[in-house]
Structure 1
Amino acid sequence: MPDDLADELQSISFGSSERSGSSTISTASGSCSSSSGPLSKPHSYTVDPLLATIRRLRSESSANSLSISDLRFIQRLGSGDIGSVYLAELKCSGKEAGVMAAKIMDKKELEGRNKEGRARTEREILEMIDHPFLPRLYGVAESDRWFCLLTEFCPGGDLHVLRQRQPCRRFTEPAVRFYAAEVVVALEYIHMMGIVYRDLKPENVLVRSDGHIMLTDFDLSLKCDPTAPTPAHVISDASSLPLTSTDFSGSSSCILPSCIVPKVSCFQYPKLKRKKRHFSIRRGGGSGNAGPSLDLEVVAEPVDLRSMSFVGTHEYLAPEIVSGEGHGSAVDWWTLGIFIFELLYGVTPFKGNDNEMTLANIVARALEFPKEPVVSASVKDLITGLLVKDPTRRLGSTVGATAVKRHPFFSGINWALLRCEKPPYVPPRFPVSASSSKREAEDVSDDSCPGTPVEYY
């Protein structure tokens, strides 16, 4: 590590968010095409002085890019599978422009672990997306050794840490409804962009300063070929959507040909009857043309996007990933079910004594709900529909977020005005203490990598 960088990288960490007995795993080598630069984002929702300053610095640079030397690192926020995250600011403007999260990765380590493609893919994804519940990419800073992604900073921390601070270490049902609704909207958007997230968990859902969420950490995401458009179709009414788990019936045969415990039966669900509908849109209308109204919605899911990679966090892995049968966007709806379950009960439903037992439980064990706390039948029904082991019968697998949003658990949610909902928790102002960080500077060396769990991204 260069001397000037070593002087500025600090090693203050706080609020452990380590998940006991679980880890993020990947056996896939990422690959992607080179990117020529950030895409145009006409729908940016705020004017950001930090982004404006970074653009000015880039325009003044001969290489049209930021350097690591342009940044001042204030505090270390945590570390993850392929990098460490720091609170940083621009040297030229300091806190007047604002602070940001800097995810810094060693290029040599990335190459050695064959994960450079994942870092580049994450950058490409962040350049594509522009949504209130997803991170804003400020830019990329590089040196000969270091690669750094600069994104917005969330002072509220992650939902895993926040859950541990709740009474009995679990959220109330209204709070779960709020956070789950915003995650659904974020997943809906990235699916329409042709991206499968694959790593939803409370650690990757951050709380912004206004209390709303931000879905983060896209280094395990799967991005489709940009030349292959996401198929879209139109649905007319709720009658064609499976809303509850009572729409399914179970049988005792195993659905996974490569099941690791084939002698233990799991659930299979019959095919849903689907009707193809064709619509013509006519101009004009009025009281004279009054007739039955149709609630039309255009749905786009990356249904043809498939991967054989073994990626994710053990307790959140979908059965089709464990079995190695290949997976698509339906894995995100499985992880949503695990996510809601953990926020409600403080535990995940299939956790075993070790990772191998956890994977066996995911494939073979039936879903069971704890007796405490007492929750509504609608949220149990939603979780049951999301945690269907057959991905083709899973709630959300065919029409995506539309089916999930219409579930009775979310009744009363105004999806168009979700950003106007009052959050269950608004974080206090985040204290930035550069002086205390300097006292810890000697703990960071050129060859060391922070080993604390990820708390913020």
Structure 2
Amino acid sequence: MANTIFQDNFVGTFMLIPIVYFQTPTHVCLITDFCPGGELFAALDKQPLKIFREDSARFYAAEVVIGLEYLHCLGIIYRDLKPENILLQADGHVVLTDFDLSFLTSSKPHVIKHSTSLKRRRSQEFMPPSFVSDPSTPSNSFVGTEEYIAPEVITGAGHTSAIDWWALGILLYEMLYGRTPFRGKNRKKTFYNILHKDLTFPSSIPVSLEAKQLIHGLLQRDPSSRIGSNTGANDIKEHPFFEDIYWPLIRCMSPPELDVPLKLIGKESQPKVKPEEGVIDTF
């Protein structure tokens, strides 16, 4: 699956792009861009209470939305969104990685024209048509990471790209509350919670109403009621939680500062030594 994606037009926004790959009798090896920020999971784990401030969570979630939107336009259901599969570049922006569970099918592009109410016509507001392109063929595979799996995967009802929006809701919850909402003592209990447990928001951690509303919309057990399942990423981008995000230029935005700053790894993170400080010139 991963090789098929890489060989075709997999050059897009917020994706870990392979430079080259080769195969041995026992391994498939990929050489990719280096992401010195490491996993988003590690950055989250180092923060106080293991949570991000809301502006940071909003920024990371927004970039993930764009990444998922791009995949869906290519007919790809990601199927393994989690903090461990989100890497941070040197500039703090994210890339998605690890596509071994992804499902590739054809995409079905279409344009949605928004109806204009009388009130909107009078105020001369105009909503341009929305372009939507989602994978057209559902899958019945049982795949994903335990705490991020959508209900329809567990029940075997068949799933569409809507499972990625469920996983986005779990991710946003974990970034804001330091844990996933349905985790149980074991796999069986976790799956039971995903199917039956009410979604709750701990009162001990202050989170905006807009964030809670978005999470609630993403974690609808009925895929057809889940935000993002009808008009794709457009519904999510227009949510009040993302009001301060200017989507066309998000790649030019500076990531919010973390309470515990991102520590880069590798040569790029090492301080440069000036010649007069560490080197004695000899002639």
Match of 2:3 in 1: 123
Distance 1:294-1:349 versus aligned 2 partners, 3 A rule: closer
* Cα distance in 2, alignment partners of residues 188 and 424 from structure 1: 23
Distance 1:294-1:194 versus aligned 2 partners, 3 A rule: same
Give unpaired runs (5+ residues) of structure 1. 1-120, 240-290, 433-457
- Counterpart code for 1:368: T
* Cα distance in 2, alignment partners of residues 356 and 186 from structure 1: 31
One of 60, 63, 69 as aligned partner of 1:182: 63
Query: CA shift at 1:162, angstroms?
Result: 0.6
Match of 2:108 in 1: 230
Which structure ranks higher in relative contact order (CA pairs < 8 Å, sequence separation ≥ 6)? Answer: 1
Distance 1:237-1:156 versus aligned 2 partners, 3 A rule: farther
1:132 aligns with 2:13: yes
Q: Is the 8 A contact 1:336 1:386 kept in 2?
A: yes
Secondary structure (helix, strand or coil) at the match of 1:139 reads strand
Secondary structure (helix, strand or coil) at the match of 1:160 reads helix
Structure 1 stretches of 4+ moved >6 Å: none
Q: Is the 8 A contact 2:109 2:131 kept in 1?
A: no
What does the per-residue CA deviation read over 1:316-366, in whole Å, with 9 as the maximum and x for residues that have no partner? Answer: 010000111111110000000000000000000000110100000000111
Please list, as runs of the form range in 1=range in 2, the aligned pairs for 1:133-212 lying within 5 A after superposition. 133-212=14-93
Query: CA shift at 1:292, angstroms?
Result: 5.9
Query: CA shift at 1:192, angstroms?
Result: 0.3
From the CA coordinates, give the structure whose radius of gyration is larger: 1
Q: Is the 8 A contact 2:78 2:102 kept in 1?
A: yes
* Cα distance in 2, alignment partners of residues 316 and 413 from structure 1: 25
Secondary structure (helix, strand or coil) at the match of 1:181 reads helix
1:431 aligns with 2:250: no
Match of 2:245 in 1: 413
* Cα distance in 2, alignment partners of residues 187 and 238 from structure 1: 28
Please list, as runs of the form range in 1=range in 2, the aligned pairs for 1:166-315 lying within 5 A after superposition. 166-224=47-105, 228-236=106-114, 293-302=126-135, 304-315=136-147
Q: Is the 8 A contact 2:170 2:219 kept in 1?
A: yes
Q: Is the 8 A contact 1:235 1:299 kept in 2?
A: no
Report the TM-score when normalising by structure 2.
Answer: 0.86
Query: CA shift at 1:314, angstroms?
Result: 0.7
Match of 1:342 in 2: 174
Give unpaired runs (5+ residues) of structure 2. 118-123, 268-283
Match of 2:227 in 1: 395
- Counterpart code for 1:230: K
* Cα distance in 2, alignment partners of residues 414 and 367 from structure 1: 30
Q: Is the 8 A contact 1:235 1:298 kept in 2?
A: no
Q: Is the 8 A contact 1:155 1:430 kept in 2?
A: yes
Distance 1:199-1:229 versus aligned 2 partners, 3 A rule: closer
Query: CA shift at 1:135, angstroms?
Result: 1.0
* Cα distance in 2, alignment partners of residues 149 and 430 from structure 1: 20
Query: CA shift at 1:182, angstroms?
Result: 0.2
Q: Is the 8 A contact 1:139 1:150 kept in 2?
A: yes
Match of 2:162 in 1: 330
Query: CA shift at 1:236, angstroms?
Result: 2.5
* Cα distance in 2, alignment partners of residues 419 and 140 from structure 1: 27
* Cα distance in 2, alignment partners of residues 401 and 351 from structure 1: 26
Query: CA shift at 1:293, angstroms?
Result: 3.3
Please report the RMSD computed on the Cα atoms of aligned residues, expressed in angstroms: 1.9
Q: Is the 8 A contact 2:38 2:265 kept in 1?
A: no
- Counterpart code for 2:266: P
What does the per-residue CA deviation read over 1:43-98, in whole Å, with 9 as the maximum and x for residues that have no partner? Answer: xxxxxxxxxxxxxxxxxxxxxxxxxxxxxxxxxxxxxxxxxxxxxxxxxxxxxxxx
Secondary structure (helix, strand or coil) at the match of 2:203 reads coil
What does the per-residue CA deviation read over 1:240-283, in whole Å, with 9 as the maximum and x for residues that have no partner? Answer: xxxxxxxxxxxxxxxxxxxxxxxxxxxxxxxxxxxxxxxxxxxx
Query: CA shift at 1:299, angstroms?
Result: 1.4
Match of 2:201 in 1: 369
Distance 1:317-1:325 versus aligned 2 partners, 3 A rule: same
Distance 1:391-1:423 versus aligned 2 partners, 3 A rule: same
Q: Is the 8 A contact 1:299 1:400 kept in 2?
A: yes
Query: CA shift at 1:144, angstroms?
Result: 3.1
The share of aligned pairs that are identical, in percent, is 45
Match of 1:4 in 2: none
Report the TM-score when normalising by structure 1.
Answer: 0.54
Q: Is the 8 A contact 2:36 2:266 kept in 1?
A: no
* Cα distance in 2, alignment partners of residues 364 and 144 from structure 1: 45
* Cα distance in 1, alignment partners of residues 126 and 45 from structure 2: 47
- Counterpart code for 1:347: R
Q: Is the 8 A contact 1:157 1:206 kept in 2?
A: yes
